[in-house]
Copies of this chain bind each other. A is one copy, B any other.
Amino acid sequence: MNGSDRGLHSRRPTIGVFDSGFGGLTVLKALLEVITGADYTYFGDTARLPYGSKSVETVARYAIEAAHYLESHGAQMLVIACNTATALALDQMTAAAHVPVIGVVEPGAEAAASATKNQKIVVIGTEATVSSHAYRKALESRQLQAREKACPLLVPLVEEGWVEHSITEQVARIYLAEAFADGFHDADTLVLGCTHYPLLKPLLHRVTPGNVSIVDSAESTAHAGASRLRQLVPAIADGEERRSVPRFKFFATDSTEKFRRLGERFLGHPIDNVEHVDLKE
């Protein structure tokens, strides 16, 4: 056993999930469906969100602080449930952490590779995720062609609660028409490269051609997390884990009341215990 998996064999593992805000709760929701034998600690950096419009230096600094916080609260594996933080700072977080770190980009690219028939992929995400070209690099390394498209209005539309609104549908049509154009008019796979977007899946299905597969990074990441955890804790794979209800801890850097209220929309069930974290600054 090395330093990276200390304690994993001796007790029920704790998975640390990190996001800039609430969106990562869609990843936590997906994790709950595939890893029942763990407890979860979620860190939402809501005082400094959104990361999607910020620079790589700033996002990396914030992400490393979050990794240290989660480790100091017992996380034995970290899931970066934030596309921007993964795209801009996965390497720095992996270097800074003492436990395994799973990001959302590689699992998303892997799922796209499985889904596509013509090797043409459209990825939608925040401005920062798209500027980093993390998805394009991950897809091209799998011999896939990638078109990345920043959709900065979709996050605020989701946060406004307009997930089935005609305005959101028009905005999505504008963005997707620009993405599915020229050499990518026949792309057959759409990767949701932002954790807010799974809430728009029904709407996005309506505004994309019928043959387009939609890849939800949240689901892919949950499966990647489960695989990694099985390597570290064979009991999970052997079905020996206690299938009791997972314990949760939620930490937020801004208002805990707002985290509870908005977060329930993303997680799909009530959130009870949110603690406020005051990062030194």
Contact = CB atoms under 8 A, between A and B. Distances in A.
A273 interface: no
A165 B127 CA distance: 20
A37 to B, nearest CB: 35
Given A156-B153, A157-B153, A171-B167, A58 B54 contact: no
Contact of A170 (B46, B54, B61, B167): B167
Interface in A232-262: 253-255, 258
Interface residues of A, number: 28
A279 B280 CA distance: 11
Interface in A139-185: 152-153, 155-157, 159-160, 167, 170-171, 174
A205 interface: no
Contacts of A55: 47, 254-255, 258
Interface of chain A: mostly helix, strand, loop or mixed: loop
A33 interface: no
A156 B168 CA distance: 13
* Residue from A152, A156, A167, A253 whose CB has the most chain B CB atoms within 10 Å: A156
Contacts of A49: 53
A170 to B, nearest CB: 6
A48 interface: yes
A43 to B, nearest CB: 15
A156 B152 contact: yes
Contacts of A171: 167
A130 to B, nearest CB: 14
Contacts of A254: 54-55, 58
Interface string A183-208: 00000000000000000000000000
A169 to B, nearest CB: 11
Interface of A: 46-49, 53-55, 58, 61, 65, 152-153, 155-157, 159-160, 167, 170-171, 174, 253-255, 258, 279-281
Given A47-B55, A167-B174, A281-B281, 12 more contacts: A47-B54, A47-B58, A48-B48, A53-B159, A54-B254, A55-B255, A153-B156, A153-B157, A156-B156, A167-B171, A280-B280, A280-B281
